[in-house]
Amino acid sequence: MFRPLLPLIRRLHFYAGILIAPFVLVAAISGGLYALAPTAEQIVYRHLLHTDSAGPPQTIAAQLASVRDRHLGAVVTGVEPAAGGSETTRVYLADDRVGEWERRTVFVDPQTTEVLGDSVTYGSAGALPLRTWIGGLHRNLHLGEPGRVYSETAASWLWVVALGGLTLWINRFRTKRRNTGAPWWRIGVIDRRGTSRSRTLSRHGAVGVWLVVGLVFLSATGLTWSHYAGDNIAKLRTELSWQRPDLPTSLPTGSHHGTHGTAAPPAGIPTLADDQFDEVLGIARRHGLDGRVEIAVPTDPSSAVTVTQTRQPWRYSVDSLAIDPHTMQVSAELPFSSWSIPAKLTDWAIQLHMGILFGWASALALLTLAVLLVVVIVHGYLMWWRRGTGNHPGRAPARGTWRTAARSASPASRAAFVTLMVGTIVVGWFVPLLGIPLLAFLILDAVIGRRSPTDQPHNRDQSRQRLPARR
């Protein structure tokens, strides 16, 4: 059905590869570094994340007392108690000097209550400066909004280039199979015979076959963090009730009479006393919240304290509950089992994209994907160069597909043409940084095609026959 559109796919894959590949290359390198960041973080910040002390842990109240001795007048906004082993406790302090999504974090030895140091952490994963810097490089090249546009452009086009390349490679292999009888399983095997360009093409295509699923996954999940397409995805998830549910934190009117019988603190002041953290943690443990959890303290006396399991390797569910700090009663629960299937899949996909879900296995898979993507991109440029002659790279594939498909008498060709048109409009609207460049490409390509009658397919084929192939 889509065979008449192969020339257009070939031309689009060519131009997208040439123009978008630098963006994808940077994203691949920075993404590969980010996959290694959690492991590197454990080494670089071992003095903050781990302790060699032995014995039972002290109470959270005792650990907070050490923090307050070191940071006079500090306002505690949350605590992530050590869950055992050599882990340290994280204490989050209010700090107006940190940026959005950043928190001032103090690390405490739970056995000795010694304050080991403090740092700024980022996001729900609590990334330390090294991982934060690499994440910023991957997200926007540390260039702010222009960098976000770059990143979204790469994510928007990655799946198009990947699927377009797969379509072309399947068509090429189908022809090869008719001529040689090669089995289908060899579609992902590199052919080391032939000219240097044909070997380069084989490496580019065969390796790309193995990457397609991963690249489409990274593109789709990466767009959830983007600005323009991300907003559309968020609206769609809201309309379909696919978003992550919120834990109710509002307390019934009249329930907040003050902690331990005292008057309720004014808004803006944390509503949990230090000696209540251990009680809150105990309640959470009895309700099945094991492993590392974060106790978040509200600054509004009419809101509950929340306890949420943090994202950790090999953890597939994240439960949370709300506790009334004035009565120490659970006011609401949000088990992961109550999430919708799309919300669960989205959460798992995000963790997988970040290299968290399966720990080192996720990181190794992402690093391998990044390295192989760099190989595919480099061989794509080599193939472009070896397609030409002398010191000139190869020319673009022939034009004329739109006109041929639109005027074709074949119902299949016309159906393919209409399907592609409608799909282009819908996807282009939903993913603007794909749609706008794609529309510009199609219009410009059509205009150039009308003004260059000599650039028709049969003339191009004849001219290429006269050019010696670069070996």
pLDDT at 376: 94
323 shares a domain with 254:
yes
Cβ atoms of residues 264 and 257 within 8 Å: yes
> Is residue 78, in this structure, part of any structural domain at all?
yes
pLDDT at 57: 93
220 shares a domain with 147:
yes
> Is residue 41, in this structure, part of any structural domain at all?
no
308 shares a domain with 232:
no
> Is residue 410, in this structure, part of any structural domain at all?
yes
| Residue among 148, 13, 25, 27 nearest 438 (CA) | 13
Residue 245 CA to residue 233 CA, distance in Å, equals 16
363 shares a domain with 438:
yes
155 shares a domain with 28:
yes
Cβ atoms of residues 307 and 91 within 8 Å: no
> Is residue 61, in this structure, part of any structural domain at all?
yes
Q: CA-CA distances (angstroms) from residue 239 to 232, 242, 338? A: 11, 8, 18
Residue 314 CA to residue 306 CA, distance in Å, equals 23
228 shares a domain with 249:
no
SS in 3 state form for 322-350? EEECCCCEEEEEECHHHCCHHHHHHHHHH
> Is residue 39, in this structure, part of any structural domain at all?
no
Cβ atoms of residues 384 and 201 within 8 Å: no
Domain boundary among 69, 103, 127: 127
> Is residue 348, in this structure, part of any structural domain at all?
no
Domain boundary among 127, 152, 175: 127
Domain boundary among 127, 154, 169: 127
Cβ atoms of residues 377 and 19 within 8 Å: no
CB count, 10 Å around CB of 95? 16
30 shares a domain with 148:
yes
Hey, CA dihedral for 458, 459, 461, 465, is it positive or negative?
A: positive
Joined together, the tokens standing for residue 150 give 């770059």
* Amino acid at the residue 430: F
Is beta strand 305-309 parallel, antiparallel or unpaired with respect to 329-334? unpaired
325 shares a domain with 391:
no
> Is residue 133, in this structure, part of any structural domain at all?
no
Q: E strands along 319-465, which residues? A: 320-324, 329-334
pLDDT at 408: 58
Phi, psi of 418 (to 5 degrees): -65, -45
> What does DSSP assign to residue 250?
B
User: What is the CA angle 370-375-378, rounded to 5?
Assistant: 125
Instruction: Name residue 127's beta-bridge partners.
Output: 122
Residue 358 CA to residue 351 CA, distance in Å, equals 9
| Residue among 328, 284, 339 nearest 307 (CA) | 284
274 shares a domain with 250:
yes
Joined together, the tokens standing for residue 410 give 């074949």
446 shares a domain with 381:
yes
| Residue among 452, 9, 446, 76 nearest 297 (CA) | 76
pLDDT at 91: 97
Residue 352 CA to residue 225 CA, distance in Å, equals 14
| Mean pLDDT of successive 10-residue stretches along the chain, which has 471 residues | 72 85 90 92 95 93 96 94 93 93 96 96 92 92 89 91 93 88 88 85 93 94 90 89 89 62 57 92 96 92 93 92 94 94 92 90 93 94 79 69 58 70 84 88 73 51 44 44
119 shares a domain with 216:
no
Hey, CA dihedral for 321, 322, 323, 325, is it positive or negative?
A: positive
Q: For the chain, how many structural domains are there in total?
A: 3
Residue 44 CA to residue 132 CA, distance in Å, equals 13
Residue 319 CA to residue 307 CA, distance in Å, equals 9
> Is residue 106, in this structure, part of any structural domain at all?
yes
Q: CA-CA distances (angstroms) from residue 129 to 41, 45, 132? A: 9, 10, 5
Residue 242 CA to residue 341 CA, distance in Å, equals 8
432 shares a domain with 309:
no
Residue 309 burial by Cβ neighbours in a 10 Å radius (0-12, 13-18, 19+) = buried
- Rounded to the nearest 10 degrees, how much is the dihedral formed by the CA atoms of 222, 224, 229, 235? 170
Domain that holds residue 295: 245-338
